[in-house]
Chain A
Amino acid sequence: MSDGGARILDRGYRRYDGHRTGVAGSFRTLVVHSMQRALGLKRSAAQKLLPGLAVFIAYVPAIVFVGLTVLIQDTLLANQNLVPTYADYYSFISAAIVVFSAFVAPELLCTDRRTGMLGLYLASPLTRNSYLAAKATAVVALLALVTLGPPLLMLVAFTIIGQGPDGPGALARVLGEVVLGGVAVAVLPASLSLAASSTTTRKAAASAAVILVLLASTAVTETLVEEAGAPAELFCANLLGLPFELVRRIYGEPSPDVAVAGIQTGTLIAAYAGWTLLFAGFTWLRYRRLAVDR
């Protein structure tokens, strides 16, 4: 606004008379800003370090494998199994998945409660449910960056260099498997980390809890099944291994563990869905009962 060089830049508080985007706008804004915060965008270099490192760890193997495929003859690679399958790829990046799972949700949920931002969000068109849905969307999208991005990168790169699926039909099938697999690996850890983050305002405590549950469930179930002769179905309590095994089923690849290979796919899906719903329900319940007093 100007008149002969004069400008009014700030008239103080004004009632907003413009277009209101409502719940959808608030939801979209919260998802975008949550993702920016978790990735350290528009924040200091120190805040970018951990998310940057996790993303780097997740993508490096994919880039290396694509590079190897380009540089070395494909027959040699096939003979020596130098390049893993899409399903096997997750074993290379499990550390990045654990770190990201433990970091993202605490950053997004604990901070809002500790700083009182939650109260401000709930003063907007968002309700507790839509707030949680936006945060869950952001967490899953961020985890998908690690779980979906690298295999997708490999698929695209292999297709471009002529080492991908044969024909559009096969490409569409593999693309579907990649997306489904990436989402499957993201959703369960996301729900676990949301549940852990709903119990405390301290990010470090929530992160530690997520790592502890993921690693402890793996160690305990593997010990019981492999060493103590417990039923193979106990593998369904392995919260880190369960999504990876489900991904193998999606790609139709055999499990390296014979006992696990014997578990019905339906049982695995039911266990996966059960854990996810349990953690999501726990988070919902915590937020429903949460007193927002500032």
Chain B
Amino acid sequence: MTSLVEVDEVSKWFGELVAVSEVSFAVGPGVTALLGPNGAGKSTVLRMLCGLTPPSKGEVRVLGGDPRRDLALSANIGLVPQQEALFEGYSAYGFVHLAAVLLRVADPDRATRAALELVELDPDDRRGVGTYSKGMRQRVKVAQALVNDPTVVVLDEPLTGLDPRQRLHLISLFQRLGEDGRCVIVSSHVLDEVERFGSRVLVMAQGRLAAEGDYRAIRELMDDRPHRVRVRCDDPRMLAAGLLGANGVVGLQLVGTDGVVIETLDAAALRRRVALAAQRADLRLHEVTPLDDDLESVFRYLVERR
């Protein structure tokens, strides 16, 4: 993977508060989600990627340059900040056009119209953005971040305030940007939406990078956490008896009249064993559902016990 963004042993402190501690990662083209509870240091990392604040220690490189010193890089970075950062008196067109001019876009008018259309806003709407709803203002922020057609797009909670349709639209837009070879880094609290961005995540907790990579692969690495799989069938007791003592099965719990929750250290092997046990006992399987292989479970396992 070609790294477009590299963070090497970066720490950031404000007085005695350590916001980010010895974080290292590299991000290439595609969508990468930056996750973490409040105060984990996500926004500070994003601000450092855009050169808005210098690291106290370590090095940040974006497209091979230092975003703090290399001013030409700003033309290749788009940022949607978490804060409401709009000039209230400007129209959406005026605000995005101003960003295009400041970033020295070759044809600001055309770029502005294209960016606003990307987020489904009317370039000819002359109302001030101060009169816009929160979701519309959020889309204006996304448009100004994309007006310079950046290679690196940094999005800090970009879906805040959007209605479900607009969320889907922007998620699909971000996916498209990633598929086009851009590096899209998205920070969000809403895990089921992050799951739709893609599977690559960076998980931060208490200023440190807790994990990175495909969240399913991260789950596989948690070898101290048995996978929990719920199986519904005709006779769960028979099935549980068939699985008792099988390699990798560390726990069985009967749930309701037709369910059994199996804890296993090897989820792939369990699927085969369940089918075999059901066949031997002449049982009909209704449902086999992993209970903790989703992003939310992975996230919870990583940030709990802190």
Q: What residues of A have a CB within 8 angstroms of the CB of B209 in the complex?
A: 9-10
**Does A11 touch B at the CB level, under 8 Å?**
yes
Who on chain A is nearest to B217 by CB? A6
Q: What residues of B have a CB within 8 angstroms of the CB of A11 in the complex?
A: 210, 302, 305
Contact between chains at A8 and B221 (CB < 8 Å): yes
Q: What residues of B have a CB within 8 angstroms of the CB of A7 in the complex?
A: 211-213, 218, 221
Give chain A nearest CB distance to B141 CB in angstroms: 31
Residue among B1, B215, B221, B303 facing the most chain A CB atoms (10 A cut-off): B221
Bound together, the chains give a CA A1 to CA B302 distance in angstroms of 14
**Does B214 touch A at the CB level, under 8 Å?**
yes
Bound together, the chains give a CA A4 to CA B209 distance in angstroms of 18
**Does A16 touch B at the CB level, under 8 Å?**
no
Bound together, the chains give a CA A8 to CA B306 distance in angstroms of 15
Within 8 A of A (CB), among B289-306: 302-306
Within 8 A of A (CB), among B187-214: 205, 208-214
Bound together, the chains give a CA A164 to CA B211 distance in angstroms of 61
Contact between chains at A8 and B302 (CB < 8 Å): yes
**Does A167 touch B at the CB level, under 8 Å?**
no
B266-306 CB mask vs A (1 if < 8 Å, else 0) is 00000000000000000000000000000000000011111
* Cross-interface CB contact of A13 among B212, B220, B305, cutoff 8 Å: B305
Bound together, the chains give a CA A4 to CA B213 distance in angstroms of 8
Bound together, the chains give a CA A209 to CA B25 distance in angstroms of 51
* Cross-interface CB contact of A12 among B1, B213, B214, B306, cutoff 8 Å: B306
Give chain B nearest CB distance to A178 CB in angstroms: 42
| Secondary structure class of chain A's binding surface, majority of residues | loop
A1-44 CB mask vs B (1 if < 8 Å, else 0) is 11111111111110000000000000000000000000000000
| Interface size class of chain B, counting residues whose CB lies under 8 Å from the partner chain | 20 to 34
Contact between chains at A8 and B218 (CB < 8 Å): yes
Q: What residues of B have a CB within 8 angstroms of the CB of A8 in the complex?
A: 210-211, 218, 221-222, 302
Who on chain A is nearest to B223 by CB? A1
* Cross-interface CB contact of B213 among A3, A10, A13, cutoff 8 Å: A3
Who on chain B is nearest to A10 by CB? B210
Contact between chains at B305 and A6 (CB < 8 Å): no
Who on chain B is nearest to A4 by CB? B217
Contact between chains at A12 and B205 (CB < 8 Å): yes
Contact between chains at A5 and B305 (CB < 8 Å): no
Who on chain B is nearest to A9 by CB? B209
Contact between chains at A10 and B220 (CB < 8 Å): no
Give chain B nearest CB distance to A214 CB in angstroms: 36
Residue among A7, A8, A11 facing the most chain B CB atoms (10 A cut-off): A8
- Assuming A1-B221, A6-B217, is B211 touching A12 (CB within 8 A)? no
Residues of chain B touching chain A, judged by Cβ–Cβ distance below 8 Å, are: 1, 205, 208-215, 217-218, 220-222, 302-306
**What are 26 of the A-B contact pairs (CB < 8 Å)?**
A1-B221, A3-B213, A3-B217, A3-B221, A5-B212, A5-B213, A6-B212, A6-B213, A6-B217, A6-B220, A8-B210, A8-B221, A9-B208, A9-B209, A9-B210, A10-B205, A10-B209, A10-B302, A11-B210, A11-B305, A12-B205, A12-B210, A12-B302, A12-B304, A13-B305, A13-B306
Instruction: In the A-B complex, list the 8 residue pairs whose CB atoms are closest, starting with the nearest.
Output: A6-B213, A6-B217, A12-B305, A10-B210, A8-B211, A12-B306, A3-B217, A6-B218
